[in-house]
Amino acid sequence: MKIKTVPTQPFDDQKPGTSGLRKKVKVFQQPNYLENFVQSIFDSLPDTQGACLVLGGDGRYFNREAIQIIIKIAAANGFSHLIIGQGGLLSTPAASHLIRKNQASGGLVLSASHNPGGPDEDFGIKYNVSNGGPAPEKYTDEFYRQSKIISEYKIAEIEDIDLDSTGEQQIETFKVTIVDPVDDYADLMNQIFDFPLIKKTIESGDITLCFDAMHAITGPYAKRIIEKMLGAKTGSVINATPLPDFGGGHPDPNLAHAKQLADLMFSSDAPTFGAASDGDGDRNMILGNNIFVTPSDSLAIMAANAQLIPGYNRGIAGVARSMPTSQAVDRVAEALDIACYETPTGWKYFGNLLDAGKITLCGEESFGTGSNHVREKDGLWAVLFWLNLLAKTGQSVSDIVHQHWQKFGRDIYSRHDYEAVDLTLANGIFDYLREQLPSLPGKNFGKFTVKFADEFSYQDPVDGSISKNQGIRIGFEDGSRMVFRLSGTGTVGATLRIYLEKFESDPALQDQDAQIALADLIDLAEQLCEIKKRTGRDTPTVIT
- 3-state class of 460 per DSSP? coil
Nearest partner of 212 among 130, 126, 113, 278, judged by Cα = 278
Nearest partner of 514 among 422, 413, 436, judged by Cα = 413
CA distances from 369 to 135, 296, 375, 459 (A): 18, 9, 11, 22
Question: CB–CB of 320/353 below 8 Å?
Answer: yes
d(CA 344, CA 324): 8
Q: Which of 113, 366, 371, 480 does the annotation list as catalytic?
A: 113
d(CA 198, CA 202): 6
d(CA 24, CA 244): 14
> What count of other Cβ atoms lies within 10 Å of the Cβ of residue 497?
23
Listing DSSP states for 192-238 in one string gives: HS-HHHHHHHHHTTS--EEEE-TTSTHHHHHIIIIIIIS-PPTTSEE
- Is 326 designated active site? no
- 3-state class of 332 per DSSP? helix
137-149 helix and 33-44 helix, angle to the nearest 10 degrees: 120
Question: CB–CB of 287/293 below 8 Å?
Answer: yes
* Chain center to CA of 365: 10
CA distances from 134 to 98, 191, 352, 361 (A): 14, 24, 11, 17
- Strands laid side by side in the 106-110 sheet: 21-24, 122-128, 106-110, 52-57, 81-89, 174-179, 167-171
d(CA 37, CA 539): 37
- 3-state class of 541 per DSSP? coil
HEC letters along 31-87: CCHHHHHHHHHHHHCCCCCCCEEEEEECCCCCHHHHHHHHHHHHHHCCCCEEEEEEE
CA distances from 494 to 85, 255, 420, 424, 437 (A): 33, 22, 5, 9, 22
d(CA 63, CA 72): 15
- 3-state class of 270 per DSSP? coil
CA distances from 245 to 89, 94, 118, 214, 534 (A): 14, 21, 4, 10, 33
Nearest partner of 385 among 440, 322, 447, 305, judged by Cα = 305
Which residues are catalytic, by number? 113
